[in-house]
Homo-oligomer: A and B are copies of this chain.
């Protein structure tokens, strides 16, 4: 069973449970969500969804994203810009930190397994219960800073590093 069909299944179940309907725009948006490799904006999702069903409107994308987040199919990533990024939840995902290159806007994700423990401890000290958590590191391209600005290409070649795991426990 592919991830796509697993997500479709989950989406349908969720919609049914809430007496919502599986419409053609929603289907196109779900497909678009799988068409994106990494992080995308609402606008990018709209473009791709429109290439699948050109009647999809911006409003529907914005109305569907919260549903996809509730289904745990998509997650929102706010890196402090004036718009948000979204990413599709792949099955093997652990909690991850975002490393954002401020020169080229690339977003890398790196496992940060200690975060679950930290968040829980921090919240408990305040008598709270963890809802969600987030780590973000903003960084510059050391090597490329001197030459032309940090390039997206450079970032792409680092993709093998994306699944590195960093833990504070050694």
Seen from chain A, the residues whose Cβ lies within 8 Å of a Cβ on chain B are 78, 80, 97, 99, 101-102, 108, 110, 112, 114-115, 117-119, 121-123, 125-143, 158, 161, 164, 166, 168-169
Q: Which residue of B lies closest to A112 (CB)?
A: B118
Q: Contact between A126 and B168 (Cβ–Cβ < 8 Å)?
A: no
Find out whether the CB atom of A128 lies under 8 angstroms from the CB atom of B139. Answer: yes
A87 CB to closest chain B CB, in angstroms?
15
Which residues of chain B are near A143, meaning CB under 8 Å? Answer: 127
Q: Are A118 and B78 in contact (CB under 8 A)?
A: no
The CB with the most chain B CB atoms within 10 A, among A101, A118, A126, is that of A126
Q: Is the CB of B122 within 8 A of A132?
A: no
